[in-house]
Amino acid sequence: MNFDTEFIRKLVQENFKLFPCDDNNKPVLDIKNFQKELIEFNEDLALRIHSPSFQINQNLAVLTGESSQLVVVDVDIEFRGISVWKYLLKKYNETKDLDSLKITTPSGGYHYYFSFDKEKFHKFESIYRPTIQGFGKTGIDIIAENGYVMSPFTQRKDGRMYLPESYFANLEIRKQINPIPEWLFLLFRNSREAMLNRIYRK
């Protein structure tokens, strides 16, 4: 059994919603019938994962938001994302990394997985990039309702992969995903509210 196959098996069993993507990491499901095809694809996966010959031969993405009970903070190397992230961890978290599932992306950035809290995240669009005081817009996003991230162990055309950095194969994936720290949530929420206030004042 391949390690990546076992990870996908666990995602399906733990009710994360997956869908196929092309080599450019773009969804291949029909946008007009996305919800219907999403349900059908995941029902088919749920049947196939029990087969000893189960294999993955296509790139898969994980849907974020309420459906998968998941939000992801995406830290890119572009737009000073990594350097600003280190600054935030030093300022708010004693330089310690966050205690939740962390994926290293092919570009050298990070995906931090957090549990979905409907009360906190129901107003967030699929991707939101906050304005951080002293830095403006940076390479840090929150991916919430109707967004997606590529599944861990997905391989790009250049051979680079999305690889778990903090993952224990003997534990359920959901048990390794914690709520978003309050300071980080407030950073996104306050930035979003300030943006909306500026729009409505015009």
Q: What is the C-alpha separation between 30 and 133, in angstroms, rounded?
A: 40
pTM over 0.85: yes
Q: Are residues 95 and 89 in contact, defined by beta-carbon separation less than 8 angstroms?
A: yes
**Mean pLDDT, 10 residues at a time, over the chain (202 residues)?**
77 96 91 93 94 87 96 94 96 96 96 95 79 84 93 89 92 97 92 63 48
Sign of CA dihedral 124, 179, 39, 162: positive
Sign of CA dihedral 155, 160, 162, 163: positive
Q: Are residues 96 and 110 in contact, defined by beta-carbon separation less than 8 angstroms?
A: no
Q: What is the C-alpha separation between 154 and 78, in angstroms, rounded?
A: 21
* Spatial CB neighbours of 24, under 8 Å, sequence gap ≥ 6: 157
- pLDDT > 70: what percent of the chain? 94
Residues making up the chain, counted from first to last: 202
